[in-house]
Amino acid sequence: MFALLLLLGSFHVDYATYLGGSGDERVGGIAADSAGSAYVAGTTDSPGSSTGFVTKLNAGGSAVVWSVRLANMSADGIGVDAGGNVYALAHDSNSISSVVKVSPGGERTVYSKSLGILASALAVDSAGNAYAVGGASGGLTATAGAYQASVTPGTCHYGAGVGLLTGPCADAFVIKLGPDGSIAYATYLGGSGPDQARAAAVDSQGDVWITGDTVSPDFPVTAGALQSSFHGEVDLGPLRFGDAFVAKLDPTGGKLLYSTYLGGAAPEAGMAIAVDSSGAAYVAGGTQSADFPTTPGAYRRTYSGGSAMPSLSGNAFAARFSASGALVYSTFVPGPQATDIAVNAQGQAYLASSGLSVLSADGSNILHSAGLSGSLALDAQSAVYLAGTSLGYVFFPTAGAAQTQFGGGVYDATVVKIDFAGPPSAWISSIVNAASLRSGTPQNYPVYDLAPGEIITIFGSGFDGRTRLLFDGVPAPILYAQEDQINAVVPFEVNGPATAILLEAGGETFGPGRMQVFDAVPGLFTWDGSGRGPAAVLNQDGTVNSAANPAPRGSVISVFLTGAGRMSPAQADGSLGPLSPPFPAVALGAACSIGQVLYAGAAPGLVAGAVQVNVRISEDVTPGGRVPIVVYIGNYASGFSGDTTVAVR
């Protein structure tokens, strides 16, 4: 689904549309052509058994031009050549990938070529050659003259526990198909440890750039490599982490033109790669290394991610290499991991992480950002296409979109086309509880809904000081507004089962969108604003609860939340909680997982919708710095156990 990130930015929304039927849809990738048409690949079970799909949307996003299904397959990637032919990477139930080429009109399959192994990514050049990359410990027959004819000897462990097996380690591989689907070349690329190619891009000379990750101390590197030495292995059980790599093969697949490690002391991987007209390569991925190599003048040189457990989701990074392999820039970028990248004619890199960021050509600045993410594509005019997966009513299509209603099942595919050069649009992308940063509760997940009096955060575009938000015609108190984020309070007058939401901003009107209404959708505020981790709790003496200042068992703590629904007596929209009795109480009542609730009602002095719950901690609570805490409003829980915590001694 679309990820959310609190970033300042404005943009024009050309369109936003659902793409789905009565079942579920999952997006595998998106591409765009020079005319502004979008091509989406994915998997659907609407209706019946699961199949892959490839769909073409017109430039305005107002209609499906054509759509085809790929029987007995799941689609994982997509590309378009200069002639308008469409290429889908798909795999079957046996994890065998095929490349399927569809004619420009979608009326016929030009070829369907089985690769014999599982591939992870696809790239297409203007001449109609397709390149599939991945990792394999066998099953690939290298072609004559290939750079690496076989898997490098090495032993790896697979599975876990009593099912632990040993076998050859996987090497990265590249397969090039000609325009007719014949194999032009196939080669391995790797060392004695496990190696995985995760993305590829082709330059105008027919050279293919590859990125991924390696745990091989003997991964092949070339003279002049940025980093010629492996930085070490980090393991978590059977999981093995190493460095990212960046490599470049010539058009025949017989010569390694450039190859380098890219990393620091902790795990990293290259997840995406793009090339510009000069042949420069732009690499994006994830790292946990505080010593990841960055360059002077780069946008961000200090690591800001976590490191509690080895993973590839510490901090996103982006790096630019010249056509010869010289490092132009390297920088950390917002988000825990970059999953996609595209580059425009000016050398500006568009990165999808937990949000969309546009990096300047020299890597020194973020030019634009938006609280949207997903599979990413650009057209020749630098319009951005994002394809993702939306749950229930959380996504808001634009008027005139190809599909303005949720199709059914649990989730549909979604496609959004935006332009940073256009005037900001009045548009709502998502609405979440301002405390938990999600909608819904464990009882009704994954349906997205609101409660009367809930403080909400709205992400979108075009918000300004004149913005009005109306629920069933009733204005909502707006607490905070910037170009792509609003904090507001759902009017207490809102009734179920659903509410119509209208946005007025910048002289434009968006909506109405619709969301379900529940009696309560509670979420606990947290100290870092993430909706996860240490809850915003005050100890009995008024000090801030923390691992260094835990609350004694038997003492009373104050917990703060929103989404508790109506109060008794009722509170007026936008009013402040009284500073002296009588205090409005939560109409549904409250309970807590760690003790007895002594008070649940309006938080004194805070805006109506902010709720304070006083809890006497039970003597039998197991002490610790991260004791799970869940507050129940009626039958509605504030989250899953462990989402939020409190320190107890």
Give the pairing of strands 327-333 and 340-343.
unpaired
Whether the per-residue pLDDT at 97 is higher than 60: the answer is yes
11-20, 57-66, 159-168, 539-548 — which is least confidently predicted?
A: 159-168
Q: With CA atoms as reference, report the closest residue to 213 among 146, 134, 281.
A: 134
Confidence of residue 309 (pLDDT cuts 50, 70, 90): confident
Of 118, 97, 22, 16, give the one whose Cα is nearest residue 52. 97
Spatial CB neighbours of 137, under 8 Å, sequence gap ≥ 6: 151, 156, 167, 168, 169, 170, 171
- pLDDT above 60 (res 5): no
Residue 333 pLDDT greater than 70, yes or no: yes
**CB 78 within 8 Å of CB 28:** yes
pLDDT at 163: 59
Q: Give the DSSP letter of residue 548.
A: T
Q: Is the pLDDT of residue 233 over 60?
A: yes
pLDDT beyond 90 at 10 = no
- Note whether 395 and 8 are within 8 A (CB): no
Write down the domain spans for the chain. 9-114+379-422, 427-517, 523-648
In whole angstroms, give the CA distance from residue 629 to residue 636.
14
Distance CA 453, CA 380 (A): 45
Residue 158, SS3? strand
Lowest-pLDDT choice from 139-148, 385-394, 585-594: 385-394
Query: Distance (Å, rounded) from C-alpha 436 to C-alpha 522?
Result: 8
Q: pLDDT tens digit string along 454-476? A: 999 998 888 888 899 999 999 99
pLDDT tens for each residue of 191-228: 999 999 999 999 999 999 999 999 999 999 999 999 99
The pair of three-digit structure tokens given for residue 474, joined into one six-digit string: 């009733």
| pLDDT for residue 446 is more than 80 | no
Q: Of 426-430, 510-514, 579-583, where does the model show the most confidence? A: 579-583
270 strand-pairing partners? 285
Q: How confident is the model at residue 83 (pLDDT cuts 50, 70, 90)?
A: very high
For residue 634, give both structure tokens. 């009626």
pLDDT for position 580: 93
Residue 57: is its pLDDT beyond 50? yes
Where do the DSSP E strands lie in 392-438?
411-419, 427-433
- The answer to whether residue 93 scores a pLDDT higher than 90 is yes
What confidence score (pLDDT) does residue 269 get? 97
Both tokens assigned to 464: 């300004």
Judge whether residue 513 has pLDDT over 70.
Answer: yes
CATH superfamily to which 427-517 belongs: Immunoglobulins (2.60.40.10)
pLDDT in tens, 553-567: 999 999 999 999 999
Nearest to 545 by CA among 563, 564, 525, 562: 525
pLDDT of 594 > 50? The answer is: yes
| pLDDT at residue 408, rounded to an integer | 85
3-state SS assignment for residue 557: strand
Whole-number Å distance between alpha carbons of 491 and 587: 16
Query: Does the CA dihedral 600-601-603-605 come out positive or negative?
Result: negative
Whether 546 has a pLDDT exceeding 90, the answer reads: yes
Average pLDDT for the chain: 93
Residue type, 555: S
The whole-number pLDDT of residue 3 equals 33
Strands, E, within 146-279: which ranges? 155-158, 165-168, 171-177, 183-189, 195-202, 208-214, 234-236, 239-241, 243-249, 256-262, 268-275
pLDDT at 6 over 50: no
| Single-letter amino acid code for the residue at 373 | S
Whole-angstrom distance, CA of residue 549 vs CA of residue 639:
24
Q: Which of 70, 168, 173, 69 is nearest to 116 (CA)?
A: 173
For residues 379-405, give the mean pLDDT.
88
pLDDT of residue 393: 52
Sequence-separated (6 or more) residues with CB below 8 Å from residue 517: 449, 450, 451, 452, 494, 495, 496, 497, 498, 499
Tell me how crowded residue 189 is: count the other CB atoms within 10 A of its CB: 27
CA separation for the pair 332, 24 (Å, rounded): 35
